[in-house]
């Protein structure tokens, strides 16, 4: 029941349910919420005011880790919304592992769940440990399989530029996850660049010289390469880059930050897909997608020209709209 054309309403629940803090994370900054708490009562009020089905999204924390009574309270609140409404939330893969994970699954089966989005920044055990994530690749795989086998639609949230991570390892992880997708489904895919945010443990690592973030250009190239691969593998890419906000802008100390990071990564992906479909051109492109090549100072066109070893002028001449 993912998607179905419903309007989405996002509730940000920063760090709700999170145990240890992952080294790069500050959801208060990422969700521009200074710690305001969303309550089931507030959700019920919003739900009652709706006139058509809505997808209620709980992001910014580990929803399945807040305890099943509280999960039920939030999801019961959604029952006040018109029929056809559903819930999407982000969570930690480990929340679905072991006996406690089975309890969570049992609770979820009582509610209309649109998508369970799992934070799977990486499947590399060393990178997971460095980032203070408390799950390991085997636990992630067990959780993914359990969610899938219980018929839920999944979304994966991956990252690039983590300490010790490479683009090759991200695409390898995406392939591993893609091998678990049921044939009739397309899982959602979000990709976030790792940024050094003020006050996080990663800032300390960066200042001590223990972590070198991606440059903006490297981040865009890695982002483009990963979403190119993710789409090829059958994922539906629904977001690239963090939501732009004043609080995010003020908190970034280093890393591949740009307010239009997603668009820039899409320009890289478009150049990659055109050049791999037909090295050297000509390239057929829909008129509405042309801005992916010509926008942001013609970055996509420049990359297409570089990949094809021709001038930008020649690359433009080989575009067919
Ligand atoms: S990345 Fe996810 S699990 Fe880790 S601290 Fe942030 S919200 Fe919590």
pLDDT in tens, 105-136: 999 999 999 999 999 999 999 999 999 998 88
Name the domain boundary from 205, 225, 257: 257
Q: For residue 1, tell me if it sits in a domain.
A: no
Do 55 and 102 sit in the same domain of this protein? yes
Residue 304 Cβ inside 6 Å of ligand 1? The answer reads no
Q: For residue 292, tell me if it sits in a domain.
A: yes
In the predicted model, what is the mean pLDDT of the chain? 94
Name the domain boundary from 257, 282, 307: 257
Entry pTM: 0.94
Beta strands at 188-193 and 7-12: parallel, antiparallel or unpaired: unpaired
Do 185 and 224 sit in the same domain of this protein? yes
The closest alpha carbon to 1, from 86, 79, 64, 72, belongs to 86
Residue 21 Cβ inside 6 Å of ligand 1? The answer reads yes
181 alpha carbon – ligand 1 mean position (Å): 24
Q: How confident is the model at residue 31 (pLDDT cuts 50, 70, 90)?
A: confident
Cα gap 53→4, rounded to integer Å: 10
User: 60 and 30 in contact (C-beta within 8 Å)?
Assistant: yes
Do 53 and 72 sit in the same domain of this protein? yes
Give the structural domain span for 211: 7-257
Residue 207 Cβ inside 6 Å of ligand 1? The answer reads no
CA 67 to chain centre: 24
176: helix, strand or coil: helix
Locate 204 and state its tokens. Answer: 């300390």
Q: How confident is the model at residue 160 (pLDDT cuts 50, 70, 90)?
A: very high
Strands (E), 172-255: 188-193, 196-197, 236-240, 252-254
Do 241 and 290 sit in the same domain of this protein? no
Do 205 and 307 sit in the same domain of this protein? no
Residue with tokens 């559903």: 86
> 256-314 pLDDT, tens per residue?
999 999 999 999 999 999 999 999 999 999 999 999 999 999 999 999 999 999 999 99
Cα four-point dihedral sign 184, 92, 238, 40: positive
The closest alpha carbon to 12, from 34, 306, 21, belongs to 34
Cα gap 71→68, rounded to integer Å: 5
Q: For residue 192, tell me if it sits in a domain.
A: yes
Residue 18 Cβ inside 6 Å of ligand 1? The answer reads yes
Q: For residue 303, tell me if it sits in a domain.
A: yes
Do 79 and 179 sit in the same domain of this protein? yes
The closest alpha carbon to 31, from 10, 8, 46, 2, belongs to 10
Do 161 and 301 sit in the same domain of this protein? no
Cα gap 316→312, rounded to integer Å: 6
Examine the pLDDT at 2 and tell me if it is beyond 70: no
**End-to-end Cα, the chain, rounded Å:** 35
CATH number at residue 143: 3.20.20.70
Cα gap 308→283, rounded to integer Å: 11
Q: What local confidence, expressed as pLDDT, does residue 221 receive?
A: 98
Supply the DSSP symbol for 79.
Answer: T
Do 139 and 266 sit in the same domain of this protein? no
Residue with tokens 């018929």: 151
The closest alpha carbon to 127, from 174, 176, 169, belongs to 169
Examine the pLDDT at 70 and tell me if it is beyond 80: yes
Residue 152 Cβ inside 6 Å of ligand 1? The answer reads no
Q: For residue 2, tell me if it sits in a domain.
A: no
User: Can you name the residues that pair with 10 across neighbouring β-strands?
Assistant: 57
Name the domain boundary from 216, 240, 257: 257
Supply the DSSP symbol for 315.
Answer: H
Q: For residue 202, tell me if it sits in a domain.
A: yes
139-163 mean pLDDT? 97
Do 86 and 158 sit in the same domain of this protein? yes
Cα gap 60→18, rounded to integer Å: 9
Examine the pLDDT at 195 and tell me if it is beyond 70: yes
284: helix, strand or coil: strand
252: helix, strand or coil: strand
Other CB atoms within 10 A of residue 296 CB: 16
Do 99 and 159 sit in the same domain of this protein? yes
Do 175 and 272 sit in the same domain of this protein? no
> 209-264 pLDDT, tens per residue?
999 999 999 999 999 999 999 999 999 999 999 999 999 999 999 999 999 999 99
Q: Which atom of ligand 1 is nearest to the CA of 119?
A: 2
Number of domains comprising the chain: 2
Do 315 and 212 sit in the same domain of this protein? no
Q: How confident is the model at residue 16 (pLDDT cuts 50, 70, 90)?
A: confident
22 alpha carbon – ligand 1 mean position (Å): 6
Q: For residue 103, tell me if it sits in a domain.
A: yes
Q: Which of 23, 27, 192 to mutate to test the pocket of ligand 1 (most atoms within 8 A of CB)?
A: 27
193 alpha carbon – ligand 1 mean position (Å): 14
33 alpha carbon – ligand 1 mean position (Å): 15
Residue 92 Cβ inside 6 Å of ligand 1? The answer reads yes
Q: For residue 125, tell me if it sits in a domain.
A: yes
Examine the pLDDT at 4 and tell me if it is beyond 80: no
Size (the chain), residues:
321
């Amino acid at each position: 029941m993912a998607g179905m054309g419903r309007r989405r309403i996002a509730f940000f629940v920063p760090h709700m349910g999170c145990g240890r803090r992952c080294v790069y994370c500050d959801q208060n900054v990422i969700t521009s919420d200074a710690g305001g708490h969303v309550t089931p009562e507030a959700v019920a009020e919003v739900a009652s005011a709706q006139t058509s089905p809505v997808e209620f999204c709980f992001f910014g924390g580990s929803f399945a880790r807040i305890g099943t009574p509280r999960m039920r309270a939030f999801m019961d609140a959604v029952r006040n919304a018109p029929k056809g409404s559903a819930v999407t939330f982000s969570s930690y893969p480990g929340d679905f592992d072991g006996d406690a994970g089975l309890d969570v699954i049992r609770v979820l089966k009582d509610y209309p769940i649109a998508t369970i989005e799992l934070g799977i920044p990486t499947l590399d055990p060393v990178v997971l440990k460095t980032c203070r994530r408390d799950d390991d690749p085997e636990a992630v795989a067990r959780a993914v399989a359990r969610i899938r086998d219980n018929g839920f639609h999944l979304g994966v949230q991956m990252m690039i530029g983590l300490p010790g991570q490479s683009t090759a390892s991200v695409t390898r992880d995406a392939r591993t996850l893609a091998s678990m997708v049921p044939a009739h489904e397309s899982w959602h895919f979000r990709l976030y660049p790792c940024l050094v945010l003020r006050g996080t443990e990663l800032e300390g690592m960066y200042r001590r010289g223990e972590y070198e973030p991606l440059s903006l250009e490297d981040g865009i190239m890695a982002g483009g390469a990963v979403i190119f691969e993710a789409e090829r593998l059958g994922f539906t890419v629904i977001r690239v880059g963090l939501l732009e906000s004043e609080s995010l802008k003020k908190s970034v100390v280093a890393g591949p930050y740009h307010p239009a990071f997603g668009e820039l990564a899409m320009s890289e992906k478009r150049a990659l897909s055109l050049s791999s479909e037909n090295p050297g051109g000509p390239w057929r492109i829909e008129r509405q997608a042309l801005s992916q090549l010509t926008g942001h100072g013609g970055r996509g066109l420049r990359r297409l020209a570089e990949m094809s070893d021709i001038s930008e002028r020649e690359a433009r001449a080989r575009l067919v709209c």
